[in-house]
Amino acid sequence: MNKFKISETTAFTKLYDSSNLLKYASDDNLINFKESNELGHYLFCYGSNSLSQLKKRLNKKDLEVKKAYLPNYVRIFSGHSNKWNGGTASIIKSSDNFMVKGTLIYLYENDLKKLDKFEGAHKNFNPFSKIDNIYRREYITVRNSDNQDIPCITYIKNNHNWMSYPSDEYLEAVKINMSKYWEELDDSNQLYIYDKNLLLKGIY
């Protein structure tokens, strides 16, 4: 059988370089990353990204936040942030008994690029990358207060190893994000602190 060969001078361009595939959360993100900066996305926030924090980080006043939740996932804490002096939040898939409560906000690609720097999702040229970035963008589907499915983006940590407890300052920031829309927080006005093995490390 004759082997198909590509001349070094050919105009043919390989769509994928197998040596780079592991840099991406999924092949679809190779395409989505190239979308226009004017394209909008919903962003699901489950950690410290409250409305007040986002207004400061994006230098925008006309932002609107809505209630949302992510079924079959659980909020965990991992790593160590020097800024927050402790572990910070991420999410992992779990059973039907769990859901992650949070908020939903509509942003443009330029806004997300600004947030990438705060989330450490700018260390690789692709914010969806699992390599180098502290957090990566990922496409998920949440549900709003009417239980309607809403496609959106969220930030997920790449390393879920437990290093230190989240600080009171960070947990208060999470509460600020949640409490206006989820008065009960995780349950009984408290936040549950899980590690990646769903071991309950504490209650705040």
pLDDT in tens, 100-140: 999 999 999 999 999 999 999 999 999 999 999 999 999 99
Predicted local confidence at residue 201, as pLDDT? 97
pTM for the predicted model, two decimal places:
0.82
In a domain, 32, yes or no: no
Distance (Å, whole) CA 75 – CA 94: 10
Q: What is the CATH number of the domain that holds 130?
A: 3.10.490.10
Q: How confident is the model at residue 29 (pLDDT cuts 50, 70, 90)?
A: low
Q: Mean of the per-residue pLDDT values for the chain?
A: 87
**pLDDT of 28 above 80:** no
In a domain, 11, yes or no: no
Instruction: Average the pLDDT over 153-159 and give the result.
Output: 98
In a domain, 74, yes or no: yes
Predicted local confidence at residue 6, as pLDDT? 38
Which residues lie across from 185 on neighbouring strands?
190
Coil, strand or helix: which one is 148?
coil
Look at the chain and report how many structural domains it folds into.
1
Distance (Å, whole) CA 18 – CA 125: 17
In a domain, 177, yes or no: yes
**Domain region containing 75:** 38-203
**pLDDT of 43 above 90:** yes
What are 163-178's pLDDT values in tens digits? 999 999 999 999 999 9
Distance (Å, whole) CA 91 – CA 65: 20
**pLDDT of 23 above 50:** no
In a domain, 58, yes or no: yes
DSSP state of 22: G
Radius of gyration of the chain (CA): 19
In a domain, 26, yes or no: no
Q: How confident is the model at residue 37 (pLDDT cuts 50, 70, 90)?
A: low
Predicted local confidence at residue 96, as pLDDT? 75
